[in-house]
Structures are given as C-alpha cells and as structure tokens.
Amino acid sequence: MIIGRRTFIAGTAATAGMLIAPSAFARDRIKITDIYKNQAEFSVLAKTFAKEKTRIEITGFMAPPLKAEASFFVLTRRPMSVCPFCETSADWPVDIVFVRTRKMVEAIAFNRMIVTSGILELGEAKDEDTGFVSLVRLVDAQFEIV
C-alpha cells in the first residue's frame, strides 16, 4: 500500500498531537513531593499554581479526622493511622496538605488512596474554624476514592 504525501503528513501531525496532549493535561496533577523545592522553600511549580489559583489534583491518603463532622481533612503522601496534627507551622511536615472541602467530609479508611482536587494556597495560615496551622492548603476541594 502506498501512502500519499498529504496522508502521511496528516497522520504524522495527528500522532504528534497525541504524544504532546498528555503532558498538556498532566500539568494540573502534582505529587505532594512536588510542592517543595527543599524543606524550607516551595517549588516554582507550586508557587505558579498558587499564584494563578489553578485547580490541581493531588493523590494521597486521608489521615484520620480530628473530629467526627468536619469540612476539612489532612491529605498525606503515605497512609497514617494517626492524625499528623501540628501545633505550629515550624513542625509542619513536608508530606501533608490541609484540605478544606466544599461540604462535610465522611471519613474513609486511612489506607484508601484518594485523588483530591482544589485550589492550592501556600504560606502560613491558621484556619479560623479549627485552629489548624498550615503551610500548604487545598481549598474549595473535593475528593474521590481511587
């Protein structure tokens, strides 16, 4: 079978588009470890998402809740059987994210992986409702079990 030049060019362009497309969509999914450049500084990627108020997705685990009914939870990089609640931002681990949801959260098993989406916020802040001090937050968030 002989392929014409136009067909070949059109097919090549379509294939190139498929190869490029996933990276364009992957921009809004990050890992918890992508948030920090080092223990004391946020990454350029995280700063960009926070500045642009970009809705992002992060995969992780829901830490056990601080209270039965709440519109927040702590997202962790790995399963934790106890809540990593922190008194000050100086103790803030680099592998957790405070998540403020749109509605009340129904707690799930600490070892079930979830995908959480929300607007990334960076910098020290104390949550008015909980008193939770955080350096990294996802706000206006929602999640689903993977």
pLDDT tens per residue, range 19-68: 434 333 334 899 999 998 887 799 999 999 999 999 999 999 998 877 77
Residue 60: CB atoms within 10 A of its CB come to 23
Q: Which residues does 76 contact at the CB level (< 8 Å), separation at least 6?
A: 32, 60, 61, 62, 63, 84, 95, 96
Q: How far is Cα 71 from Cα 85, in angstroms, rounded to an integer? A: 16
Give the chain's domains with CATH numbers.
Answer: 29-145 (2.40.50)
Output the pTM of the full model: 0.74
Contact 113, 61 (CB under 8 A): yes
pLDDT tens per residue, range 5-28: 555 555 544 444 444 343 333 348
Q: Tokens in use for 40?
A: 């004391």
